[in-house]
Amino acid sequence: MAKVRILSDRVANQIAAGEVIERPAAVVKELVENAIDAGATRVEVEFRHGGRSLMRIEDNGHGMSRDDALLALERHATSKIAEAGDLDRLASFGFRGEALPSIASVSRFVLQTREAGADVGTEILVNGGKFVHVRDCGRPVGTRIEVAQLFNSVPARRKFLKTDQTEAAHIVTGVRLYALAFPQVAFTLIEDGRVIFRSPECTDLLGRVTEIFGRQLAGQLTPIETAENGMKLSGLIGLPGQGRSTRHEMITFINQRPVDSRALNYALIESYHESLPKGRYPLAFVFFEIDPAAVDVNVHPAKREVRFRAETAVRGFIIRSVLHRLRELSDVGGPASNEPESGGALPPPSTVADLARPVPSPAPSTGAPVFVMPKLAAIPPAAIERRMGDKVPHQKTSLASPPVEHSSLGVGHAGATPVSPVAPAWRFLGFAHATYALFETKAGLVLLDRRAAHERIWFERLQEQFRDGTVPSQRLLLPVPLELDPIASALLLDRLEFLNGHGFEVVEFGRNFFRIEGLPAWMEPSDAEPFVRELLGALRDGRLQERRLDVAREQLARLASARAIRLGEAGGEAAMLALAKQLFACRSPLTSPGGTPTYIEMSHGELARRFQR
């Protein structure tokens, strides 16, 4: 039986490194936090080959004496806390004393530091957890740390690193977060000898957001600042209607610490419930300040998560603050969301609810025979939604080519065997809530979800085009500019060939900047940027798998089918029967690509029971 033994410091440090140092970006994060805790007003970060071969972080902070520098490389040695009670009033980033020994145990680690008043500095070299030398060096006040050959002593960990491009993107994203959190600190970021950004000291958050994330995103933001009961919220939030398909541009800081807080994320999403369509997330660069004793940052080894002692109060404060700001925008006639894509203008919104109210659909065409059953109106929309398995969709959609309702009957799936052709006895009666087409059949009544039917038809049409390589494409007279964050840019660069092989023409036009020069024929230029962002969001969230080409094409078709339709003016009897015929020519006509029913049937028996006959 194995004996119980105490692990050596070197093994213990490597175990700790597995929790704290997941990738090169985690090394940069820990060292930048140390620089800020040391009172630095200038931080320079340099890395090569995605951080694998070299990471250098240099600052002009307080520096350390030789004794302190040696002690800092011991486990649980820290200057941030002295007793357990200090955990309740943390005002610094670091406090565990695990980062430096963990990094030094899995790399070639060089520390150069000098404190004010010292004649010379100190240089310490540690290779794979073993001290090589400690000697004097010349350097200005501050600290310089070089980390080379990361994970060379633990090759198994090195295998789990992604491509250099992806790892570099994570480093750039992390440094940008701290540059946002501390605009009074000058940041310089260098990759492979090239300056990525050099941000001087400033006090204007919007200016730094513009400098780091680009004017395109900054133009979609509005300032917010409010305080209540010891809590303060400030920063920039997205204008109503300006959303993203993922949460990656919803950035939150708690006491200037970049964190992923479920409480803050939920509050922001809930605040935009009426200002953004379902499935969209707001833009946000918000700073939440609270008494350090009211928040616990000692939850996650990498300090990515926090826990509030009064989470309900925090959530309520955030929601009230954001809703108040959105109402202010609407009261002064600020930018409204969900503007109609065509037709007459709507009156300016007066409340936050008005900002997100769907545009009313036009009345059914008078050119077709319409018969509306008086008693059918007694069925509430919610009951129809439950039967359909989904909510009534927003009328504002991203567009595409002419609606299927108005296309010729010949456009469909050649050679597809109809599963259940529309019977000649189907008789069009009219519309329910301008979204569902009502038919009378020998068996009873049928409610056809126009949107779900469109999506199924387009989904299978796009699948065939992707499979056969026959995606019709159109070059744009004016290319659409696309500015991305580093991670999204790396994802797009890795998949340009796949995207360009499916009707798009996207070219790199500078670092993190692209131009969309061609589109599939079913997409409007105004939808190009939102669709590519949504596609990249699906890649980041793992919703779009790329290892198998057929699966990737199916998932791309599913995303595209939601974009390739517009519920415009409803047609008459001929258009609705044509839509039903195209639907039943599909391989799977019963459900939309998302799994919701395309139609529901109400038999004579069910109608009789509803009327208590």
The rounded percent of the chain whose pLDDT value lies above 90 is 25
Q: Verify that 295 and 419 share a domain, yes or no.
A: no
Angle at 95 between CA 92 and CA 96, to 5 degrees: 160
Q: In what order do the strands lie in the sheet with 42-48?
A: 130-137, 121-127, 108-114, 142-148, 54-59, 42-48, 186-191, 194-199
Task: Give the number of other Cβ atoms within 10 Å of residue 347's Cβ.
Answer: 6
**Most confident of the ranges 231-240, 513-522, 587-596:** 231-240
427 and 505 in a single domain? The answer is no
Whether residue 199 is found in the same domain as residue 56 = yes
Q: Which amino acid is at 151?
A: F
Q: Residues 253, 317: contact at Cβ < 8 Å?
A: no
| pLDDT confidence of residue 97 | 60
Q: What is the pLDDT of residue 305?
A: 72
| Same domain, residue pair 18 and 123 | yes
CATH number at residue 53: 3.30.565.10
Q: How confident is the model at residue 43 (pLDDT cuts 50, 70, 90)?
A: very high
pLDDT at 361: 37
Give this prediction's pTM: 0.62
Given 179, 203, 227, which residue is the final one in a domain? 203
> Which residues, at least 6 apart from 105, have a Cβ–Cβ distance to it below 8 Å?
10, 13, 14, 16, 17, 126, 128, 129, 153
Look at residue 339 in the predicted model and tell me its pLDDT: 37
Phi and psi at residue 499, in whole multiples of 5°? Answer: -65, -45
Residue 41: pLDDT band by 50, 70, 90 thresholds? very high
Query: Which has the closest alpha carbon to 439: 456, 427, 422?
Result: 427
> Would residue 422 count as lying in a domain?
yes
- Cα separation, 415 vs 259, in Å, equals 54
Report the residue count for the chain: 613
The rounded distance, in Å, linking the Cα atoms of 488 and 282 is: 17
One-letter amino acid of 141? V
Q: Give the three-class secondary structure for 324.
A: helix
1: which DSSP letter? Answer: -
Stretch among 49-63, 298-312, 348-362, 542-556 having the lowest mean pLDDT: 348-362
Question: What are residue 227's phi and psi, to 5 degrees?
Answer: -140, 150
Q: How far apart are CA 202 and CA 382, in angstroms?
A: 52
CATH of the domain at 324: 3.30.230.10
Mean pLDDT of all residues in 411-418:
37
- Last residue in a domain, options 151, 170, 203: 203
End-to-end CA distance of the chain: 78
Residues 121 and 51 in one domain: yes
The H or E element containing residue 81 is none
> What value does the mean pLDDT take over residues 277-290?
89
DSSP codes of every residue in 111-125? EEEE-TT-SSEEEEE
Q: Report the number of distinct structural domains present in the chain.
A: 4
* pLDDT reported for residue 232: 95
Query: Is the predicted pLDDT of residue 408 greater than 50, yes or no?
Result: no
Contact 358, 396 (CB under 8 A): yes
Whether residue 432 is found in the same domain as residue 499? no
How do strand 599-603 and strand 444-449 relate by DSSP bridges?
antiparallel
Taking a C-beta distance cutoff of 8 angstroms, is the pair 186, 199 a contact?
yes
pLDDT mean across residues, the chain: 77
When pLDDT is cut at 50, 70 and 90, the band that residue 298 belongs to is: low
Least reliable range by pLDDT among 33-37, 276-280, 472-476, 513-517? 276-280
Backbone angles phi, psi at 129, to 5 degrees: 90, -5
Supply the pLDDT for residue 101: 87
In a domain, 341, yes or no: no
Question: Rg of the chain over CA atoms, in angstroms?
Answer: 29
DSSP codes of every residue in 376-393: GGGS-HHHHHHHHTSPPP
Q: What does the DSSP 8-state code read for residue 361?
A: P
Residues 107 and 169 in one domain: yes
Residues 35 and 169 in one domain: yes
Residue 380: CATH number of its domain: 3.30.1540.20
Q: Give the whole-angstrom CA distance, residue 450 versus residue 443.
A: 21
pLDDT exceeds cutoff 70 at 277 = yes
Q: Work out the number of other CB atoms within 10 angstroms of the CB of residue 308.
A: 19
Is 399 in the same domain as 385? yes
In a domain, 366, yes or no: no
Q: How many helices (H) and strands (E) does the chain have?
A: 19, 24
Instruction: Read off the DSSP letter of residue 255.
Output: T
Residue 152 sits in the same domain as residue 24:
yes
Band (pLDDT 50/70/90 cuts) for residue 83 is low
In terms of domains, do 605 and 503 share one? no
Q: What is the pLDDT of residue 288?
A: 94
pLDDT for residue 349 is more than 70: no
> Please, which pLDDT band fits residue 302 given cuts at 50, 70 and 90?
low
Per-residue pLDDT, averaged over 519-543, amounts to 81
| pLDDT for 260 | 83
Q: Are residues 481 and 507 in contact, defined by beta-carbon separation less than 8 angstroms?
A: no
Residues 137, 123: contact at Cβ < 8 Å? yes
Rounded Cα distance between 534 and 529, Å, is 9
In this prediction, residue 224 has a pLDDT band, given cuts at 50, 70 and 90, of very high
Q: Domain range spanning residue 483?
A: 473-520+523-563
Distance, CA of 27 to CA of 47 (rounded, Å): 11
Structure tokens at 362: 């036009």
526 band by pLDDT with thresholds 50, 70 and 90:
confident
Of 439, 435, 321, 315, nearest to 381 by C-alpha is: 435
Decide if 466 is inside a domain: no
User: Are 256 and 227 in a shared domain?
Assistant: yes
- 319-320-322-323 Cα dihedral, nearest 10 degrees: 110
CATH of the domain at 501: 3.30.1370.100
pLDDT (0 to 100) of residue 347: 35
Residue 122 lies in a domain: yes
Structure token digits, residue 356:
């997100």
CA distances from 589 to 463, 547, 571, 583 (A): 15, 28, 21, 6
Residue range 117-166, pLDDT digits in tens:
999 999 999 998 889 999 999 999 999 999 999 988 777 778 788 888 88
pLDDT for position 272: 92
Phi, psi for residue 48 in degrees, rounded to 5: -135, 145
**What is the model's pLDDT at position 284?**
93
Averaged pLDDT for residues 360-373: 38
DSSP secondary structure of 204-270? -HHHHHHHHH-HHHHTTEEEEEEEETTEEEEEEEEPTT-EESSSTTEEEEETTEEE--HHHHHHHHH
Domain boundary among 147, 169, 203: 203
Q: CA quadruple 91, 97, 102, 108: dihedral positive or negative?
A: positive
Beta bridge partner(s), residue 513: 483
Which helix H or strand E contains 58, and what residues bound it?
Answer: strand 54-59
Residue 468 lies in a domain: no
Give residue 397's pLDDT.
34
pLDDT tens by residue, 226-258: 999 899 999 999 998 888 877 888 999 998 888
Question: Three-state DSSP class for 52?
Answer: coil
345 within domain boundaries: no
**543 domain-assigned:** yes
* Higher-pLDDT residue of 29, 405: 29
What are the tens digits of pLDDT across the range 380-391? 555 545 555 544
Q: How confident is the model at residue 351 (pLDDT cuts 50, 70, 90)?
A: very low
CB 218 within 8 A of CB 199: no
Residues whose CB is less than 8 angstroms from the CB of residue 247 and which lie 6 or more positions away in sequence, other chains included: 265, 281
What is the secondary structure of 514-528 as a DSSP string? EEEEEEETTS-GGGH
